[in-house]
Amino acid sequence: MNQRGNFILIAVGLMIAVIVLLPVLMYVFPPIDIIIKIFLVFMIFQTVKGFLGNGSLTLIVSGILIYLLVIKWWWIGASGWLAITLFSMGIFSIITWGSKTVLDLTKPR
Amino acid sequence: MILSPLFIFNIIPFFLFLDDLFSDMTLVLKIFVLLTIVSYVTQHLGKGPIALIVIAALSWFIIFDYFYIFGGIYVLYMLVMFGATQIMMDFFILAPQAAMEQQMGGGVENQPNGKDFADRQRQALNMRKRAGIF
């Protein structure tokens, strides 16, 4: 049971490390920061437009979300976007599989 | 130590930051729930007055009255939609394997294989030859 816990903790730790990497890169390299923020703005506007269609309400709701997720809490917006993207692409499954098969950090040395 | 002024003045901004973060993220979550309600109702009822009434009623119950229930449900729904169950399945499949291999002492490659078996057979044959059985 303890070994299972170790494996799950290692896999979850690797996932969190991958997610946290993007805000760190954004903080260290300003060009990445600008690119990701522009990308986030487009994505938020596109999402809201998909829900509400064209109109002033779309602009207002997008504005609120862009202020909160791109300007104020940019690191949560960026890491959340990365987490959603990796989730939907199934990358986390690869990380889970790789932490067991390739890295095999639970194996006694 | 814990109640010293220095510690308290250092820790209070941290909790204020968390409080601010929590309220802002709750607002973001409520906006997304509202968008989902609006999208769902307009898909089924169009953009007439009945749709507006239904949107208002659903929003009142889900966002204002019982958000402590529906907020969690919405987060779970989103996690399932994005494939969090896939990760859990990976854990359920791979975690017992990892535990079993660790109990066996280092994975499949450290277990006896065909080469070990052949070596043992060769040793046994040599012993038999030396004993004069063959």
The per-residue DSSP string of A12-52 comes to HHHHHHHHHHHHHHHHH-HHHHHHHHHHHHHHHHHHHHHHH
Single-letter amino acid code for the residue at A92: F
Put simply, the answer to whether A7 touches B25 (Cβ < 8 Å) is no
* pLDDT for position A98: 81
Q: A3, B82: Cβ pair inside 8 Å?
A: no
Which stretches of chain A drop beneath a pLDDT of 50? 1
pLDDT of the residue at A20: 92
Number of domains in chain B: 1
Per-residue model confidence as pLDDT tens digits over B47-80: 889 999 999 999 999 998 899 899 999 999 988 8
Query: Which tokens belong to A13?
Result: 């730790």
Structure confidence at residue A5 (pLDDT): 61
Tally Cβ neighbours within 10 Å of residue A31: 8
Structure tokens at B13: 């901004």
Closest by CA to B82, choosing from A76, A87, A90, A15, is A87
Quick check: B97 contacting A, CB < 8 Å? yes
pLDDT, position B14: 63
Query: What is the mean pLDDT, run by run of 10 residues, along chain B of 134 residues?
Result: 63 70 91 93 90 93 90 90 81 76 61 72 81 71
Structure tokens at A42: 């487009």
- Residue closest to A61 by CA, chosen among B79, B113, B27, B7: B27
Residue B121: what pLDDT? 80
The reply to whether residue B36 touches residue A51, judged by beta carbons under 8 angstroms, is yes
Distances from the Cα of B95 to the Cαs of A10, B57, B111, in angstroms? 11, 45, 19
DSSP A62: H
The secondary structure of chain B, three-state, reads CCCCHHHHHHHHHHHHHHHHHHHHHHHHHHHHHHHHHHHHHHHHHCCCHHHHHHHHHHHHHHHHHCHHHHHHHHHHHHHHHCCHHHHHHHHHHHHHHHHHHHHHCCCHHHCCCHHHHHHHHHHHHHHHHHHCCC
Q: Which of A11, A65, A108 sits opposite B106 (nearest CB)?
A: A108
Which of B52, B75, B82, B108 would you mutate first to test chain A, the one with the most A CBs within 10 A? B82
Question: What is the H or E stretch that residue A55 is in?
Answer: none
- Within its chain, how far is the Cα of B108 from the centroid? 28
For residue B75, give its domain range: 5-131
Q: 3-state DSSP call for residue A93?
A: helix
